[in-house]
Structure formats: structure tokens, C-alpha cells
Structure 1
Amino acid sequence: MTFLPLLVAALLAQDLPVDPLTPVQYGQVQCFSPDAATKTCNSIARFTPNGDGYTNTATILLSSRPAMTITTTTQVHVRDGAVCGILRNEDVEAAKVKVDGRDLPPEEAMLVVAVVSDVVNDYVGQEVCTTYVAADSGLTAKATIQGSPQPELDQPMIWVSPSEGYTVAP
């Protein structure tokens, strides 16, 4: 008779969503819009576990010439197989900006951050969740905002080890 509860628990566990951030346990990071030939990504997301979920440090390519990146840090958590977080103004305002790998002086960085803030203003305070769906050569990251699918934000993604040498670059 004790076998039946174990069987039911095992069957129910099959329907539970898998933790989409399991590769973080093995030191991997997310590379979005990867180019395997040049080992470049349009953005890289690193997740660090913390007491409330994860700290997501994302470096995003803003422009190709010059190569300009912005790095933001946000709090995220896993819920129902998705990585979810709320973009806050303070997360954008604290962003770091680099041009060709060098930090921009604070006064110039503030100008870039102000432009980025205007662009993402509609998303501030909104919950953004991302799920990962198997695709031909990796995964497709599919975003929702406040539960509404945003197919224009879908992008290819692969997990990579930092030792593989992928960088955010054009």
C-alpha cells in the first residue's frame, strides 16, 4: 500500500516544470543571438543564486560601431518553468556603459542610460517572464509581459561556459 503514494508522487512530479536555470549550477551563462563562428552574442545573462531567487547580470549590445554595451542587474525568480522579474527604474539608472570595452565617463554614461531608460520605459514596473523552448540549434527565449506574449522579443539562446570565450560584440 505504501507503493501507491510513491507512484502518484512520481507521476505528478513529471508534470512539474523543470528549473530553466539548472545550467547555472554548472557555471553556464546564457548567450542570446549567438554566432558560433565568431563566439559572439548580442547579450549575455549571468545568474547568481541569492536568498530571493537570482541576481541577473545582463550585458547587452547597444550598437556595433562603436561597440557599445550596457550592463544591468535585476532580481529574478523561477516560477512555473519561467524566469520572471520586474524591471525597475533604479536597475536601469545603475547600468554600466562601455564603448569598445572601456567604461564611459559617468557624465557620458548618464546620457546613454537616459536614452535606454526612455526606450524601456513601457516595461518598467511590469513583470517580464521568459521561457525557453527547444529550437534547431539551441533554444528560443520567449518573453511575456504581464502574462501577454511578446513574439517580437523572441530570440535564439544557447547556454555556454565562460571558458568557451563567448563575448558580447557585433
Structure 2
Amino acid sequence: MLLQAAAAPVDPIAPAWQGRVQCHNPDRDQKTCQSIGRYARAADGTIQNTALVLLNPQPAIVMASMAPVEIKDGAVCGKISSPDAGAFTVNGAPASADVTATLRAAVATTTSSIADREICTSYVPDADALMAQVRVDGVRRPDFDMRVLWVDPSEGFVVGR
């Protein structure tokens, strides 16, 4: 029985199945996150990650994107989705078509070095939160690491700084 428990795969996003979301780079006092990640199982059993990411604080520019992920060796793995699928808001309002085109081009340029590469994130305890440790094509990228809290949406955390 102990061997079975030790061999059972760890689900790094288990809190998502209880309705919690990931708050990246949290500010607990302001109840803000640099980004918020949600996970949901699609009808076919795949896992979809929806991310709201703060691109700019003033004006507040937020990108919403969705991408499939999978659990591999206790890490969440996926690829950067095309910014052509992302939606943008500026100060809470949908971005115009021209602004959206500009933002998509900027995001494509910024993410070009990691586009279409496997990005895997492992979560390790870090004081009262977790540290998301990132690997790109199997190579550790500590420059991408960030603190993460699992929060209940009713706690009122939002994307912003």
C-alpha cells in the first residue's frame, strides 16, 4: 500500500479541481496578481489553461489566452500559444482592432525565443507560497521563475499592479 502511494503521480494543479486559481507574483495587501491562471478539463479530457496576463500597468493592458497543457513528471507542460488567439483589454475595455494588432505583434516579438518550445513548470514550496520553476525544452530558466499562490476566486484577487 505504501508503494502504491509513493508511485501515485502528483497532480501539481490539484487545487484547480477544487475551484482555486493561480495568482502569479501576488501582492496580498492589494489583492493583485501579475497573472491569473485557471485550469479546466475539456470534454475530451484534455486540460485547458486560461491565463490573464498584465502586460502593462498604466494604461492597464491585459492579455487573455488559452492553451492546452499536460502533466508530465509532476510538472505542467505546454507551449506558448499564438498571440493571434489572444484577446486584449486596455483599462478594462476591449482593445480596438488596431490596438489588438499592435499588441499581438509585440507579444509575438517578445515570445519569439520560446514560441513552439515545450515549457514545463514545477511548483516547490517557498515560505507561505510556491515557487514556479520553469524549464524550456528541459533547460532550467530561473529568470522565468515566480511566486505563486493558489487562491479562491471569492477572495477578490485581480490582475493588476
Q: TM-score, normalised by structure 2?
A: 0.95
**Superposition deviation, residue 16 in structure 1:** 3.9
2:133 to 123, 142, 165: 142
* Residue 110 (structure 1) aligns with: 101
Q: Which has the higher helix share?
A: 1
2:37 matched to 1:45? yes
SS at match of 1:139: strand
- The number of residue pairs the alignment matches comes to 160
Per-residue deviation, 1:36:
0.7
Q: Percent of pairs identical after alignment?
A: 34
Residue 166 of structure 1 aligns to which amino acid in structure 2?
A: F
In the TM superposition, what whole-angstrom CA distance separates every residue of 1:77-104 from its partner, at most 9, and x where no partner exists?
Answer: 1111000012243xx2111111111111
Give 1:18 shift: 1.2
8 Å Cα contact 2:65/2:81 also seen in 1: no
Give the TM-score taking structure 1 as reference length. Answer: 0.90
- Is structure 2 residue 123 aligned with structure 1 residue 124? no
Shift of 1:53: 2.6
Match of residue 21 from structure 2: 29
Matched residue, 1:19: 11
Measure the CA separation in 1 of the matches of 2:66 and 2:86.
7
CA distance in 2, matches of 1:86, 1:125: 6
Q: Deviations over 1:12-32 (max 9, x none)?
A: 431444101111111000000
Question: What one-letter code is carried by the residue in structure 1 that aligns with 2:48?
Answer: T
Which of 59, 62, 82 is residue 69 of structure 1 equivalent to? Answer: 62
Give SS of 1:14's match.
Answer: helix
SS at match of 2:38: strand
Structure 1 residue runs without a partner (length 5+): 1-6
1:93 alignment partner in structure 2: 84
In 1, Cα distance between equivalents of 2:75 and 2:132 = 10
Distance across 2 between alignment mates of 1:80 and 1:37: 34
Is the aligned partner of 1:58 residue 2:58?
Answer: no
CA distance in 1, matches of 2:81, 2:24: 22
CA distance in 2, matches of 1:74, 1:117: 15
CA contact 2:66–2:81 (8 Å) conserved in 1:
no
Q: What residue ranges of structure 2 are gaps of 5+ in the alignment?
A: none
Q: Would the aligned equivalents of 1:52 and 1:77 in 2 still touch at CA under 8 Å? A: no
Whichever of the two has the greater Rg, that structure is 1
Structure 1 residue 60: Cα displacement: 0.6
